[in-house]
Amino acid sequence: MEEELKTLAKMQALDDQIGRYRILQKELPKQLNEIIESVEEATANLLAVETERAEINKKQRSVEMEIKQMQEQSKKYSAQLTEIKNNKEYKALNSEIAYIKDKISDNESSLLELMELENEIKEKIATAKSVLEKAEALKKEKESDLREQIASLDTKIEEVRTQRNDLARTLPVSLVKYYGNMIKHKQNQAVAYTREGSCGACGFVIRQQMRIELQLRRKIIYCENCGRILMNRFEDKTDDASS
Ligand SMILES: [Zn+2]
């Protein structure tokens, strides 16, 4: 009977391993997606700030153009001014020139504001570039490894399952069936080890008589509460999948 219990313990260790692989099957694709998404996000962000800069540059060029046109206009008027004899016309043209000069000055202020904006956006671009570089470096470092791991998990699970099934063949069919049911319905745990006089899985306190039977290892003991196969841990680490 002790051999059967050891076999069950080994089977549980293998199912624990399968459980860990299953968790990885969920987690690794998430990690991979996060890495890919962070590159996409950083790319989109860089594009957005670069577009913003292009718009600022466009405005700058148009303001500069306006200033140039107004300066030419002002020069033209100033030249006309010397030829005017009529006082009324002289005044009118003079105030027109003053108006244009005000406009030029306004435009020069907006040009300065745009330059400041451009400096800010340059910093944003630098930050966005460095974020993108880091995201790409992380992707380069991890992507293929993650993809390989994800691709190999099915095979790994199949290998462990085969080992477990080989062990199961040495046990009575009804016991294997019971074990399988527990694995299926009790969070992948069919075997529970005793812990300080209780079931290590559900915490139910084990009766004195049962504790003695657990020490004797002469029959299969089931937890009276959760139904899992109960046993004391083996000293030789039978239940450790890594050994
Ligand atoms: Zn229990």
Assess contact for 7 and 170: CB atoms under 8 A.
yes
Query: Quick check: pTM over 0.85?
Result: no
pLDDT confidence band for 240 (50 / 70 / 90): low
Q: How many whole angstroms from 211 Cα to the centroid of ligand 1?
A: 13
**Judgement on whether residues 48 and 138 belong to the same structural domain of the protein:** yes
Q: How many whole angstroms from 192 Cα to the centroid of ligand 1?
A: 7
Partner residues linked to 205 by β-bridges = 198
Give the rounded distance of the alpha carbon of 6 from its chain centre.
41
pLDDT digits (tens, 9 = 90+) for 100-132: 999 999 999 999 999 999 999 999 999 999 999
Assess contact for 146 and 32: CB atoms under 8 A.
yes
Q: Which residues, 6+ apart, have CB-to-CB distance to 225 below 8 Å?
A: 199, 202, 204
d(CA 30, CA 129): 25
Q: How many whole angstroms from 172 Cα to the centroid of ligand 1?
A: 22
* Parallel/antiparallel/unpaired status of strands 191-195 and 229-231: parallel
Provide the b/e sequence for 141-169 (b: ≥16 CB within 10 Å).
eeeeebeebbeebeebbeebeebbeebbe
Range of the domain at 30: 17-168
Smallest Cα–Cα separation from 186: which of 1, 12, 2? Answer: 12
pLDDT digits (tens, 9 = 90+) for 31-43: 999 999 999 999 9
d(CA 33, CA 167): 37
Q: How many whole angstroms from 11 Cα to the centroid of ligand 1?
A: 18
Q: Which residues, 6+ apart, have CB-to-CB distance to 171 below 8 Å?
A: 4, 7, 8, 179
Q: How many whole angstroms from 159 Cα to the centroid of ligand 1?
A: 29
5 within some domain: no
Q: How many whole angstroms from 170 Cα to the centroid of ligand 1?
A: 25
Q: How many whole angstroms from 219 Cα to the centroid of ligand 1?
A: 17
Q: How many whole angstroms from 205 Cα to the centroid of ligand 1?
A: 9
How high is the pLDDT of residue 243? 39
* Average predicted confidence (pLDDT) for the chain: 94
Q: How many whole angstroms from 203 Cα to the centroid of ligand 1?
A: 6
How high is the pLDDT of residue 241? 54
- Count of domains in the chain? 2
Q: How many whole angstroms from 227 Cα to the centroid of ligand 1?
A: 6
8 within some domain: no
Residue 124: give its domain's CATH number.
Answer: 1.10.287.1490
